[in-house]
Amino acid sequence: MENENLPENLEENNVDLTPKDALQEQVAVAGLYENWFLEYASYVILERAVPAVEDGLKPVQRRILHALKEMDDGRFNKAANVIGQTMQYHPHGDASINDAMVNLGQKDLVFDCQGNWGDYRTGDGAAAARYIEVRLSKFALDVIFNPQTTEWQLSYDGRKKEPVALPVKFPLLLAHGVEGIAVGLSTKIMPHNFVELIEASISVLKNKPFELYPDFLTGGSVDISNYQDGHRGGKIRVRARIEEFDKKTLLIKDIPFSTTTTNLIESIIKANDAGKIKIKKVIDNTAKDVEIQVQLAAGVSPDVTIDALYAFTDCEISISPNACVIIADRPHFVGVSEILKTCTQQTVRLLERELEIRRDELMEKLLFSSLEKIFIENRIYREIEECETFEDVIATVDKGLEPYKPQFYREIVEEDILRLLEIRIKRISKYDAFKADELMKRLQDELAEVLDNLANIIRYSIEYFKEILKKHGKGRERKTEIRNFNTISAAVVAANNQKLYVDRVGGFIGYGLKKEEFVMDCSDIDDIIVFRQDGKCVVTKVQEKVFVGKDIIYVSVFKKNDDRKVYNLVYFDAKSGVSYVKRFKVTAVTRDREYDLTAGNPKSKILYFTANENGEAETIQVNLTASCTARVKQFEYDFKTLLIKGRDSMGNVLTKYPVRKIIQKSAGVSTLGGVDIYYDENVGRLNRDEHGKYLGNFDAKDNILVIYNDGQYELTNFELTNRYETKDVMVLTKFIPDSIITVVYYDGGSKLYYVKRFRIETTTIDKKFLFISDEKGSKLTLASVDVYPRIELSYKKDNSSPAVVEEINLDELTDIRGWKAMGAKLTTFKVQSIKPLESRIVEVEAIEVQENTENVVEIELPKKLIEPEEIEFPELTDVGTGEQLGLF
């Protein structure tokens, strides 16, 4: 309606009524939008989210520290007052200041806090700012502030001055860690250990290599194998510390960095509700120390549950570092080693600048002390009595100083003379030349020391770092254990929370087919392998209901890389009419892809099929059709004569005649032999991948012997899910029933060391037995399964006598007794040290083996020293009879 009063011809001719100035204004606004957004992004990056490398602080943190320094009088300040003081410098409100201050306070480095500052472990927030108090710590006062070396700038309103960057003489950024999100940019630097940072800085100054790894106040353990020096693309894995209190209870003692006990418990409950783990109850007993009690359901393995907690809950968290800092007003992605080197070099520069300032101060003090002495001792002040003007006074003093000017390091100016003229008569009258000389001597000594430190600035910087470590390093030892984590397969440790059913004729499987045939319990994350009558094999993800093809003959949970499960198969090839037999494994497949186990010809089919968990090879009876031309219409075939090949192999010919039926004649035994087991001490786990110490070849009846540092032993099976805390284990080996265990232990009751030798008499699996004294203070010193163990014993007969060192054969010291026996005393003297030695070697004489008087075979072995467990006796073949003679 705006154009209703315009002439009609304008509307009819579509005349453009938009003013040219308006178009130009639109272009200008678009340009402003682009510039403003870039400026906003730059502002957020530089002034809010990303720390500066010079002091490792974000602007809000720097302003809080500066405000606290201004308020510092040695007493605590209300946090609310600190927030108000900081608002003179920080234009973004009190909420952001409060959050930043609480965050700094919980890191327990630059603040001394009083009141409820919250708990980073539980996630509890701090009390209101009016209830809590804070002051700068002694560490902060020592390393962060120095007005003389600080560069200043005006605050946002121009009324105050604030530091551009604080002169921090410590890698504070790496000690605190930082996390920030800006516009199109983020930073995430892990906190590191206080002591290790100082030691690394000293290594930098000494041009020695160093390594830096994260350390968290929450403790736990961290896998730094992919840390990549904190660069983008790296990753660390952080775990809670979980202990087995008993077979029904687990205790979580430390929590992973970046989570809380509340979140951790919620994740455990969620995993239990989803059926991933099976627990009875979770109890939070956290007070001074973290303790979360996890009570297990009946029949649940503690070892498997620990792995499941790591796999399905916040007991293990992956963190991706992203070290980004502001260097020269621009964000840079650098590694923590480079950050440390930069901070260390800055510390050297600041220390050098402080020394230079002190040098100048001392030289000025020496200069004025010398002027003062000359002025008073030479009575120059008397010469000014007759001067009529102030200019004459200055000129007279200057003339009196003229003979001495060459000895000064700089020119004497009017300001120096004015200072001399300000000296009071009372001071001149009481002037003590001796004390003045002593003062000048102290100043000269200090100046010499300062000049020496300047000339040896690296040495001085190293001593500075050592002093900081000595003064503030107590109680700041590493809290997070560095270790390698094993990769936990979720499918292996997931609880069976579903039931698998199959419709063999219709070709459906799933956990929703409750009216069909039950197969087995499974997890909702399992893969299922299916074999069909037409010779096809397929692996698919378990679902509520999924079609996999008709005429299913076998269905089960698929375990990837299971090289112990062997499938025995007979199939009929429709093209040639020949029946083939084959043995194969299925270790890795592509999900939902069909694999043909026959020769690939249409209408081929499976005649016989078995799945064998441990590579068993049975004997089958093959019955041919009565009308076939074969002379033998029934025969047996033993699968153990057939080699295990790939699933794509064609197989061997079983018969070229038509087969009527195949039945199993007898069950088979495993053709794979035992399993080679290794123990990886780095992760405390068993494996079959040749990682770590080789324990031996294990059959189903074999067990593992574990001797713990607390004087207990335990027999366990060799399941790969078993967990062993390396720090608690003294001996872990394959259990040999007749082997002899030799131990040295300290008895807390008698205060003496004992030696005992015994055999394992118990047969209970997964139960610990204490084999040393249960007196308070008793401890296990040494344990060995060697046949002839030795030790080096150092002891003193009395306090004044020198130490005696002996080598002792422990097998000669005591007889073999029961595992509950006390043992024999090692010595009654004061023991200094006990060191294990290599097993004693024995001398083997010639051995004669005789079967009868006619055929005698003699073996003459040279006399030499060999290890008893390395004696190998070959099987001997009698020349006359050809029979093998066994020596045992």
Show the beta-strand stretches assigned E in 206-349: 221-223, 236-239, 241-246, 249-254, 279-284, 292-296, 316-319, 324-327, 330-333
- Measured between alpha carbons, how far is 80 from 20 in angstroms, rounded to an integer? 55
Q: Which of 622, 717, 631, 633 is nearest to 675 (CA)?
A: 717
Write down the residue that tokens 């894995």 correspond to. 237
Write phi, then psi, for 700 (nearest 5 degrees): -60, -30
How distant is the alpha carbon of residue 346 from its chain centre? 30
3-state SS track over 770-804: ECCCCCCCCEEEEEECCCCCEEEEEEECCCCCCCE
How far out from the chain centre does Cα 278 lie? Answer: 27
> What is the C-alpha separation between 568 and 596, in angstroms, rounded?
15
Task: Measure the CA–CA gap between 865 and 569, rounded to whole angstroms.
Answer: 54
Task: Give dist(CA 819, CA 772) in Å, integer.
Answer: 9
Selection from 686, 599, 584, 676 nearest residue 639 by Cα: 584
Distances 518 to 138, 503, 722 between C-alpha atoms, Å? 70, 9, 30
Active-site option among 40, 131, 156, 694? 131
Contact between residue 698 and residue 718 where contact means Cβ atoms under 8 Å apart:
yes
d(CA 634, CA 594): 34
Cα-based angle 439, 442, 446 (whole degrees, multiple of 5):
140
CA distance linking residue 534 with residue 540, whole number of Å: 18
* Residue type at position 867: E
Give strand ranges (E) for 699-844. 704-708, 712-716, 729-734, 741-747, 752-758, 768-770, 779-784, 790-796, 804-809, 816-817, 824-827, 830-837, 842-843
Are the CB atoms for 211 and 470 separated by under 8 Å? no
CB-CB contact of 495 with 274 (8 Å): no
Is residue 131 annotated as a catalytic residue, yes or no? yes
Question: Checking DSSP bridges between strand 605-612 and strand 779-784, what pairing results, if any?
Answer: unpaired
DSSP string, 412-446: --HHHHHHHHTS-HHHHHT--HHHHHHHHHHHHHH
| 8 Å CB contact between 765 and 726 | no
Using DSSP, state whether 119 is helix, strand or coil.
strand
Structure tokens at 584: 């194969």
- By the 8 A CB rule, do 837 and 791 touch? yes
Query: Which residues are known catalytic residues?
Result: 131
